[in-house]
Amino acid sequence: MIRKLLARDTAETHRVATPLELLFDLSFVVAVAQAAHGLHHAVVENHAGAGLLAFSMAFFALWLPWLNFTWFASAFDNDDTFYRIATMVQISGVLVVAAGIPRVFEHQDYRVVVGGYVVIRLAMVTQWLRASRDNDEHRVCARRYAMGIGGLQVLWVLWVLAVPPSLQIPLWGAGMLAELLVPVWAERASATTWHPHHIAERHGLFTLIVLGESILAATQAFQKGFDSGVNLVSLAAASLIIVFSVWWIYFEAPPRLDSLKRAFLWGYAHLFILGSIAALGAGLAASVDYDLHLAHAPGIVIAPFTTVPLAIFFLCVWYVQDCQGQAGLRKYLLPLGSAAVLAATFGPAPIHVTAGITLVLVILTRVVR
């Protein structure tokens, strides 16, 4: 059955993630795992710079389509046949992106990733065009989304096919900025009717998916330790403490999505929140290889891939949760924790020290009000 794609009520009760949204998220499990694995491999092979660049490009190609779909679904999801098919086309595009990520890390070949990305985004264009047809109040906004997203896909195809390699990276940065500005431009016409509770839940669910990469790293520490006879129990335990602390701190305070400006800052901050969590998983996995003497990179290269992502995570969560509306010591806990974690990079047993710092932060966030 095909129904009108009408804007939903922002005060709708019992608004939760749908089975289709959960299926959409599930497709990202494989894709995020590919990106984290590529970064892990690059770090242990002592190609950290190139690996970090490839990871950033791949993760952005995953995060932005997820973000746009999530906020669109919060405002317009009607679960009709066309909506389901368009979403499944996007899922297919995500899997294409996942299949192309190893080529980005190994050969700087972006064609498959861009192809999958374009599939995801063009399917999203059809949804925005439907919304523009069925909603007079949001017609201009929806058309701006469709025009901005569609036009950028033409440029991405030209970028991968016609731009010389020496210009690809700077032009990628310009294209990324343009993608981020499309929603800002579109929403100025008339804000879409996203549901605050639904949006918070969806971001929380995606955060749990990305945290799975760090849990996998802790599991590998136990498994490789048992297989090799090397005692990695303390490393595995430290990794779990870090993962548990990240979960605790992220979900400690509910987001305050009471204005469009705050919603934009909160949503875009998740590029760094989620990216840092995924990079943290890669860093923990690299630490396991280092302790097993399987890494070709020195410890001073591997350690920052645990401490730096964690410091970025603390600062971003602090900015969107504690920076405003908090007073006293609580307002400065996460910045101080971020500085302490960065300092642990240069000390003995940085993973274990970092685990201790994160555990102290969790305790203090529960005690200090």
pLDDT digits (tens, 9 = 90+) for 50-59: 999 999 999 9
What type of residue is 255? Answer: P
User: pLDDT under 50 in the chain at which residues?
Assistant: none
- Tell which residue, 202, 148, 194, 201, has the closest CA to residue 175: 148
**What are the b/e assignments for 48-84, b being 16+ CB within 10 Å?**
beebbbbbbbbbbbbbbbbbbbbbbbbbbbbeeeebe
First to last CA, the chain: 52
Closest CA to 214 of 268, 299, 288: 288
* Helix orientation angle between 139-162 and 111-134, rounded to the nearest 10 degrees: 160
Rounded Cα–Cα distance for residues 15 and 200 (Å): 11
CB 92 within 8 A of CB 66: no
Instruction: Give the per-residue pLDDT at 324.
Output: 59
- Rounded to 5°, the CA angle 211-216-219 comes to 135
Matching residue, tokens 């599939």:
119
pLDDT of residue 323: 60
pLDDT attached to residue 356? 94
- The predicted structure's pLDDT at residue 326: 61
Q: What is the pTM of this model?
A: 0.94
Pinpoint the alpha helices (H) of 135-195: 139-162, 165-187
pLDDT at 233: 83
